[in-house]
A and B are shown apart, each in its own frame.
Chain A
Amino acid sequence: MYSEQVMDHFINPRNVGEIENADGVGQVGNAKCGDIMKVYLKIENDIIVDAKFKTFGCGAAIATSSMSTELIKGKSIHEALKLTNKAVAEALGGLPPVKMHCSVLAEDAVKAAIEDYLKKQGRTE
């Protein structure tokens, strides 16, 4: 049911972990629904120099967390804010329809982490 890319990112997820003193942290989802994603960002001069995640969820939730952190590493926060759930799903070779919400969660988690960074800086975009 999952693409090879999803299975690859599930078996060998990239960027698992936490960043101490992260510049931005975003957590979305809730345990009741069975999905929580937490994204940590290290940001220098508005460039995302490192991204890590921790996820409670299904295979697709773990794979989309892994892929979305890969997609934003090295990008500016402005570029990263343009990340869409569709782009995450496409980069994974597609997701089953019932799992599309996982990619939405990944997009939301990245955005929440960037917003947290901006808030800490006293900025809004």
Chain B
Amino acid sequence: MGQKVYMDHAATTYTKPEVLEEMLPYFTEVFGNPSSVHGFGRQARRALDHARERTAKALNAQPSEIFFTAGGSESDNWAIKGTALANRDKGNHIITTSIEHHAVFDTCKFLEKNGFEVTYLPVDEYGMVSVEKLKEAITDRTILISVMFANNEIGTIQPIEEIGRIARERKIYFHTDAVQAVGNIPIDVEKLNIDMLSLSAHKFYGPKGVGALYIKRGVKILPYIHGGAQERNRRAGTENLPGIVGLGKAIELAVENMAAHNERLTAMRDRLIREILSRVEYSRLNGHPTKRLPGNVNFSFEFIEGEALLLSLDLKGIAGSSGSACTSGSLDPSHVLLAIGLPHEIAHGSLRLTLGDGNTDEDVDYVIEVLPEIVARLREMSPLFAQNKGGSEFV
């Protein structure tokens, strides 16, 4: 082995050197607490303000609408619990989808145990939410709609503008988990009628452990962490300044580079999809063929299991991920793959490869060469391959 190919950028990205470079002084030289009155504190405060301005600009928001958090999961938790509890007098109904990240899904489950009602909208075979079904689900008790911008597993991009318009017309708050979308899709919170948006720095070449929640001015939401005046009294705790500086730089870079990034990744993605589907029989692409994140590839290979596939790829230096149950410790495969209608046995044989700025055409060539051999080897071992050759209706 020698070749190392990282194709798990949806799990996390590396921090770009120019981002790290901007962060470093904030560990040592500019270490002041932004809340302090003295010069050390004021210097730190300026950096915090600058990062907030950069983040706001990337989303076409106001700096006062950006609240830094510890990441995407915290932002999702805050947006949903914070608005649900603050608007209980108006209603107790929340609408979300059946393919959300667990940070949204489990938060909704928690609220269900605490007196809220949640509608989980189904999706079609491509993982797309139906705007018509959303309209039908709205009641006069609906206080929040939360629909992810783009799916982390299958990459499907939702009709966010239409959903935002409907939510605005019906005067219902609209939150979107845009953790996978930021840096890949241009986002204008004004144009898209978004009231709250979650993002996480380590998905767009910033550091881990820092994210933000955009909260539109006027949205009624409870503070998330009590105990200090940071983040306009809504999220107490001394700011993770190096991380926040990194987020600010990373989001600015991501927006600057977006067109070139998307063009490059989309070309590699489409070649990988085309070549693998043509070289491997009984395989299928999960997610939408075109309305998908530029770096997202998600395959199902019949008759084999995803964890064995990941282990085999890892032995060849290729890092991917799977929606197989065996990688999560539960018996059920990914809820997203089940929601798009895949039978359990096919969902178990899924593989997600997510391309990023570090990948090259040579990486794609290597995967195209190695992956079909691995699938063939595992199929040789599988009792299902010999029994069921002929395929099913799903591939």
Footprint of B on A, CB under 8 Å?
Answer: 2, 7, 10-11, 13, 16, 18, 27, 31-38, 54-62, 98
Interface string of B323-357 (1 = CB under 8 A from A): 01110010101000000000111001000000000
A62 touching B381, Cβ below 8 Å:
yes
A58 touching B381, Cβ below 8 Å:
no
Alpha-carbon separation in the docked complex, A59 to B378 (Å): 10
B373 at the interface (CB under 8 A from A): no
A59 touching B381, Cβ below 8 Å:
no
Q: Smallest CB-CB separation from A54: which chain B residue?
A: B383
Alpha-carbon separation in the docked complex, A35 to B329 (Å): 13
Residue in B333, B345, B381, B386 with the greatest tally of chain A CB atoms within 10 Å: B381
A54 touching B386, Cβ below 8 Å:
yes
Chain B residues, CB < 8 A from A55: 381-383
Alpha-carbon separation in the docked complex, A8 to B75 (Å): 43
Q: Smallest CB-CB separation from B380: which chain A residue?
A: A16
Q: Smallest CB-CB separation from A102: which chain B residue?
A: B326
Q: Smallest CB-CB separation from B331: which chain A residue?
A: A33
Across the interface, A38 reaches (CB within 8 A) one of B304, B305, B345, B383, namely B383
Alpha-carbon separation in the docked complex, A7 to B307 (Å): 13
A36 touching B383, Cβ below 8 Å:
yes
A34 touching B333, Cβ below 8 Å:
yes
Q: Please give the distance in Å from B326's CB to the nearest CB on chain A.
A: 4
Footprint of A on B, CB under 8 Å?
Answer: 303-308, 311, 315, 324-326, 329, 331, 333, 343-345, 348, 380-384, 386
A62 touching B383, Cβ below 8 Å:
no
Chain A residues, CB < 8 A from B383: 27, 36-38, 54-56
Across the interface, B384 reaches (CB within 8 A) one of A11, A13, A16, A31, namely A31
Across the interface, A56 reaches (CB within 8 A) one of B329, B333, B344, B382, namely B382
Chain B residues, CB < 8 A from A61: 305, 308
A59 touching B311, Cβ below 8 Å:
yes
Chain A residues, CB < 8 A from B331: 33-34
Alpha-carbon separation in the docked complex, A27 to B311 (Å): 24
Alpha-carbon separation in the docked complex, A31 to B345 (Å): 5
* Beyond A54-B383, A58-B326, 15 extra complex contacts between A and B, CB < 8 Å: A10-B311, A13-B381, A18-B386, A34-B305, A34-B325, A36-B383, A36-B384, A37-B383, A55-B381, A56-B305, A56-B382, A56-B384, A58-B311, A59-B308, A59-B311
Q: Please give the distance in Å from A5's CB to the nearest CB on chain B.
A: 14
Given that A31-B344, A32-B345, A34-B326 are contacting pairs, would A54 and B381 also be in contact in the complex, using a CB cutoff of 8 Å? yes
B380 touching A56, Cβ below 8 Å:
no
A58 touching B384, Cβ below 8 Å:
no
Given that A31-B345, A31-B348, A34-B325 are contacting pairs, would A57 and B308 also be in contact in the complex, using a CB cutoff of 8 Å? yes
